[in-house]
Structure 1
Amino acid sequence: MTTRREQTSNESRELILNAAAELFAEKGYRQTTFHDVAHRSGISRGSIPWHFGSKEGLLLAVLERSVAGLRDGLAAVPAPGAGSGEPGFEPFERGVGAMFALPTTKLFVTLLVEALEPGSPIRDRYIEIHDTLREHCRRWLERLPLPPGLSAEPLAVALIGAGIGIHQQWLLAPDRVNAPEALATLRTLVAGLLPPAHD
């Protein structure tokens, strides 16, 4: 049975993780300080190293939780069905397109530069994130009637790359890039590759 003290500790930990995830997504890892996290979370600055040991430990904990959330979010996407409207477009819209609506997408894209640094502590986590995204995308594409000359594996790599690239452009220049419009265009382009569905 969880004691009140343990419950309070768990609640504090979640508040810190939520605040850190928001700040890492907004400012990046290097620009975020313990003071920022304490201010955003309402938890004392000294509690952060007590829970996570170091800033790097906090970063790894944020990513660990985000990867788990990513898997849960992708698992919750409904399987392709007949549906209504444009049947050939529906599976992509409901499946692959949903990946880039996940709350963690901005965080993953913002921290990508950190993951590319030599010796980065989150490099392996990012490999795992990309593996998860590509695998999910590939499984969805394999259920669709792709035209001759296209196969699911390289198309999944291209789509994930396009989605990440759109988000990177938007983060760099949000006043010049309309991310929702660009992602909708990407979905429409993929839908155009699919042959018309027949009842």
Structure 2
Amino acid sequence: MATRRIERTQESRRLLVTAAAELFAEKGYRQTSFIDIADKAGISRGSIPWHFGNKLGLLEAVVDDQLQSVLSGFPPPADDPLDQVMGFIRVPATRLFITLLAEAVEVGSPIREHYARLHAALRQGVLALIPADALPPGTDPEAYAVLLVGAVIGVHAQWRVAPEAVDLESVQATLRAVLPAGLGHI
């Protein structure tokens, strides 16, 4: 009996996180209500505060879930990491991250801190892909990670707004060509 209750609780939580992720990506954090999330998940809206405390707690669960999903997809160093970094653009979670970016940059945004954690995790993921000796002398690996994550986020935003104007394969080939020797395969 207790096992069944635990399974139902975990399933309810998963359904709420999934519904919230889709709605936050589609409508934004502020424009999404508990009612919207509960309706999409098919669960009572009272379940949201019970599971997450409040809407910000739900956002944190969504960001953590989506971030784990994205970071678990990064390949081991032997594969071609640039393919994976550029592949990040096509991951459904990336739409959520771009939608949240618009809200996160506002002064006093309740999601700013969560978004900063997301960027930090993405930079750490990229840093894990960079061979220690691949950067030119004097290049700061952390600054390089900021640059690469920023480029991918910018490319993604342009592609979402005007996909017909952004050839992702050409962008990837160009990025590979301009990377320093040794990083052409990151």
Q: Which amino acid aligns with 2:78?
A: P
Larger radius of gyration, structure 1 or 2? 1
Identical residues among aligned pairs (%): 45
CA apart distance, 1:137: 2.0
Q: Which amino acid aligns with 1:113?
A: A
More helix by share: 2
Shift in CA distance, 20/177, structure 1 to aligned 2, threshold 3 Å: farther
What secondary structure is seen at the aligned counterpart in 2 of 1:135? helix
CA apart distance, 1:115: 1.9
Unaligned runs of 5+ in 1: 82-89
Contact 2:71 2:125 in 1 (8 A): no
Q: Give runs of aligned pairs for residues 120-199 of structure 1, distance below 5 A.
A: 120-142=109-131, 145=134, 152-171=141-160, 173-174=161-162, 177-178=165-166, 181-182=167-168, 184-193=169-178, 195=181
Contact 1:142 1:152 in 2 (8 A): no
Contact 1:73 1:102 in 2 (8 A): no
1:37 aligns with 2:27: no
Counterparts of 1:138 and 1:13, CA distance in 2: 32
Q: Which residue of 2 aligns with 1:113?
A: 102
What secondary structure is seen at the aligned counterpart in 1 of 2:45? coil
Q: Which amino acid aligns with 2:97?
A: F
After superposition, the CA RMSD in angstroms is 2.9
Contact 2:123 2:146 in 1 (8 A): yes
CA apart distance, 1:40: 1.4
What is the number of residues matched between the two proteins?
182
Deviations for 1:126-175, whole angstroms, at most 9, x for unmatched residues? 2222122223223423368556786644333222112111222344x346
Unaligned runs of 5+ in 2: none
